[in-house]
Structures are given as C-alpha cells and as structure tokens.
Amino acid sequence: MRGVVASLIFVIGTLIPIAFLWSADQWTVMLPAGDGQQETKELCGSCHNLQKIVQSRKTPQEWERSVNDMLARGAQIFPDEAEKITKYLSASFPPGK
C-alpha cells in the first residue's frame, strides 16, 4: 500500500508537471526572464515557433540584422518593440552561452 501511495505521489509530483511543461510550446518556456521576453514570445512567436531563437547564439549586430530581416519580410512589429526584442535577444542568447 505504501508503495502504491509513493508511486502516486511520484506521478502527481513529477511526471504530470513535466507532461504539462512539454505539451506547452517547449521553445517558449526556454526564453529566460528579462525585459523583452513578453514581446519576443508574443510578436516573434505569432509567426513562427521559437526554436530558431532559443537555439541560436549571435552577436548584437547579428541579432539586430535578424530582427530587421523579419520586419522587412512583413512582421507586424513596431520599431520600438524591435529595438527591445533585439536587446533582449542579444543579452539572452550571445555567442558562447
């Protein structure tokens, strides 16, 4: 009986939260906290998943070019938001991190 209870506690406490975590957008939850996180999640994530962001490591100049590239291709992002996103990505995903 004690074994059954322990198993239940393990399932409820461990596996279920993990299942929830991975059923959500697994790339979105990998965005670290910071100023610009929300904009990145909502504005970048409205067109594509965030895999290409969280798996990239770029210099500030490279991030600026990527964000500008999205703007030029028709992303619905205003200039001030683009600047905020660029700063956030540069701080969160620099080379070597």
Partner 1 sequence: MRALVKDYLDLGLSRRGFIKAMAAAGFTLTAAESILKNLAPVAHAETAGKEYWKEFEGNGGELLAEQLLQAGNEYLFVGNGSGLGALCDAVIDRPKLKLVLSTHEAHVVAMASGYALASGKTAFCMYSRVGAAHSTGNIYNAMKDRIPLVIAVDRADTTEDGRDGHEDLEDMLEPMKQYTKWRWIPKEVGRVPEWTAKAFKVASTMPCGPTYMMFPRDVMFESKAKTKIFMPGTFDVPMNVRPNAKTVEKTAKMLVEAKSPMFNVGPEVYQSGGQKELIELVELLGIPTFERGQLCQVFPNQHPLYMGMMRGQVRYPQNVDFFMNIGARWAEADESFIAEKKVPTIVAGTDVRHLGDAIAIEHALVGNLKESLRDLVDAVKAVATKDRLQKIAQARFDETKKFTDRLRAGREANAKKMWDNKPIEWDRVGKEIEAIADKDAIFVEEFGSQRNKCMDHVNIGYGAKTQLGRTTGECLGWGLPAAIGVKLAKPDHQVWALQGDGGMLFNQTEALWPMRRHEAPIITVVFNNRSYNETRNRMWTRGKNQREKKLDMISHLGNPDVNFAKIAEAYDIKGEVVGDPKDLKPALQRAINATRDGKPYLLDVLVAQAGQGANMNWYPKVSIAEMRSKKA
Residues that bind partner 1 (CB under 8 A): 43, 45-48, 51-52, 55-56, 65-66, 68-69, 71-74, 76-79, 82
Find the shortest distance in angstroms from Cβ 23 to partner 1: 16
Choose between 14 and 59: whose C-beta lies nearer to partner 1.
Answer: 59
Which tokens go with 71? 């703007």
**Smallest separation (angstroms) from partner 1 to the CB of 78:** 5
Nearer to partner 1, 14 or 76 (CB): 76
Q: Which is nearer to partner 1, 15 or 48 (CB)?
A: 48
Nearest C-alpha neighbor of 44 from the set 23, 25, 60, 22? 25
- Cβ at position 61, least distance to partner 1 in Å: 12
Q: How far apart are CA 47 and CA 25, in angstroms?
A: 14
Give the 3-state secondary structure of residue 61: helix
Token pair of 82 as six digits:
């683009």
Q: Cβ(76)–Cβ(52) under 8 Å?
A: no
